[in-house]
Chains A and B, each alone.
Chain A
Amino acid sequence: MNSILNIIDLFKVFLVEIGELSYFASRFFKEVFKIPFEFKEFLRQCFNMGNRSLLLVAVTGFIIGLVFTLQSRPTLQEFGAVSWMPSMVSISIIREIGPIITALICAGRIGSGIGAELGSMRVTEQIDAMEVSGTNPFKYLVVTRILATTLMIPILVFFGDAIAIFGSALVENIKGNVSYLLYFNQVFNSLEFSDLIPTTIKTFFFGFAIGLVGCFKGYNCKKGTAGVGLAANSAVVFTSMLLFIIDFIAVFVTNIFYDL
């Protein structure tokens, strides 16, 4: 009986959290169109999130492309289908692996960073200080960060995809003696706009989710310094879950369009 009550309580907490997150998101949409627009802070956040994540995304993308090709090669060789490698790698990376892996990495790096930064500002009363000086901390801290993640994640995903495909081409060049020109020619021949457009739209949602949850957790941080760690940690966990849900919905919707 107790465990059932616990589950009900957990479910209630989850629903409250979803409600509060929705309210937070609605406040973002209200504030985003209000002047003044904090353009300088927005650019600073874009630089912090984009430029400083480049190396991590590049290394991860390169290794994914490399490992993916190395692992698939023997199986494709068995069926005499190695020539399909560029198409298979590019479609799977562009449609699914690239966006989700890059988004998960960014949830860890950017989402937790936002959660910790805003959380620490909350517990040291910096957000209250902005509020009492008659400025709008939500606009300055939250709106700029959510906009920056929404814009930068798609760019990072494109960059990560390109590096991953290059990693794959490197393996094919070394192991299969395939020239880079031929490899990339096959990659571009196999890709269509119908592969790129849904995945690009999806990455904007990924970026929005990363910024939204990171800001939500940090901005509403409680319980002192311990709460800062909790905010950073729960931002990553919650965002990761949300990314998979968004991914599932995106694939589902895309498939409906493909079937039409």
Chain B
Amino acid sequence: MSSDISNPVIEINALRKSYGENLVLNGFNMKLFEGENLVIMGKSGCGKSVMIKCLIGLEEPDGGSIMVMGKNINNLKREDLDELRTEIGFLFQGSALYDSMSVRENLEFPLRRHTKKFGYLKDTTPLVMEALENVGLANAINLMPNELSGGMKRRIALARTLILQPKIILYDEPTTGLDPITSKEIILLMMSIQKKYNTSSIIITHDVDCARVISNRMILLVDGINYKEGTFEELSVSSDPKVRAFFK
């Protein structure tokens, strides 16, 4: 896993976000470099998911700037933002599969609507099959989401993310709610995808094992700011009690 530190694909500066009196992000800064796996850890409710949602344009920040592949997402028109979003995959914590659609339709849904990137596809089967084979679930193509286990849902959601061939993937707690064996499988899958497509990833997790295996660099988010930054090895031997608390 090599990253190009001369080329940041995401740059966040002084990001602020509050909900009423509750200040969630208070000047958060971050850079993600090409080909890098960046893990963000923090306590529940510290603003990790809010940050990632600001990054993809689901939440509007109160202040600061977010540059994604050289574009300030706060200034983009709806059409331009949608186009940029095809370059960013997002894996939701709860998988968020469309439950009224089969696995095939889940994967076809974004594919058929991005005619600029993919043209008017008559047959989507090769692309759908390729994405499903990447996650080892080619035989689940005709199943409905309610027929899938938690781990399978997470894999299908990953396949749906991959089908748009994104350059950046955002993972929101990818192993939460899964048993240790399935978690390990998902982590290995994330690594193989990164290797195969050279994607840059932000991984939000509480899972120390996941962070150890997958991260090139880590940020600890405390009180709305990036409290500490470094590799897993550097942070895991830190004497700072706030940092140590994450590795106990």
Residue tally, chain A, CB below 8 Å to B: 15
Q: List which A30-79 residues lie within 8 A (CB) of chain B.
A: 36
Shortest beta-carbon distance from A142 to chain B in Å: 15
Shortest beta-carbon distance from B86 to chain A in Å: 5
B53, B94, B110, B115: the one within 8 Å of A133 (CB): B110
A126, A128, A129, A136: the one within 8 Å of B82 (CB): A136
User: Given the interface contacts A126-B96, A126-B99, A129-B98, does A135 sit within 8 Å of B113 by beta carbon?
Assistant: yes
Q: What chain A residues lie within 8 Å of B97 (beta carbons)?
A: 126, 129
Q: What chain A residues lie within 8 Å of B171 (beta carbons)?
A: none
Which residue on chain B has the smallest CB distance to residue A136?
Answer: B82
The answer to whether A125 and B96 have CB atoms under 8 Å apart is yes
A124, A130, A131, A136: the one within 8 Å of B94 (CB): A124
Contact code string B110-133 (vs A, CB < 8 Å = 1, else 0): 100111000000000000000000
Q: What chain A residues lie within 8 Å of B83 (beta carbons)?
A: 134
Q: What chain A residues lie within 8 Å of B110 (beta carbons)?
A: 133-135
Residue tally, chain B, CB below 8 Å to A: 28
Contact code string B25-59 (vs A, CB < 8 Å = 1, else 0): 00000000000000000000000000001001110
User: Bound complex: CA of A220 vs CA of B160, how far in Å?
Assistant: 25
Q: What chain A residues lie within 8 Å of B157 (beta carbons)?
A: 129
- CB of A5 closer than 8 Å to a CB of B: no
- CB of B90 closer than 8 Å to a CB of A: yes
Q: List which A104-157 residues lie within 8 A (CB) of chain B.
A: 117, 121, 124-126, 128-136
Q: What chain A residues lie within 8 Å of B113 (beta carbons)?
A: 36, 134-136
User: Given the interface contacts A36-B113, A125-B92, A129-B92, does A134 sit within 8 Å of B86 by beta carbon?
Assistant: yes
Shortest beta-carbon distance from B97 to chain A in Å: 7
- CB of B164 closer than 8 Å to a CB of A: yes
The answer to whether B96 and A129 have CB atoms under 8 Å apart is yes
Q: List which B58-109 residues lie within 8 A (CB) of chain A.
A: 58, 81-86, 88, 90, 92-94, 96-100, 109
Shortest beta-carbon distance from A31 to chain B in Å: 10
Q: List which B121-170 residues lie within 8 A (CB) of chain A.
A: 157, 160, 164
Which residue on chain B has the smallest CB distance to residue A133?
Answer: B110
B88, B99, B109: the one within 8 Å of A132 (CB): B88
**Could you list some 5 contacts between A and B, CB below 8 A?**
A117-B100, A125-B94, A129-B97, A134-B85, A135-B114
Q: Which 7 A-B pairs have the closest CB atoms?
A: A134-B85, A129-B96, A133-B110, A134-B82, A125-B96, A132-B90, A135-B113
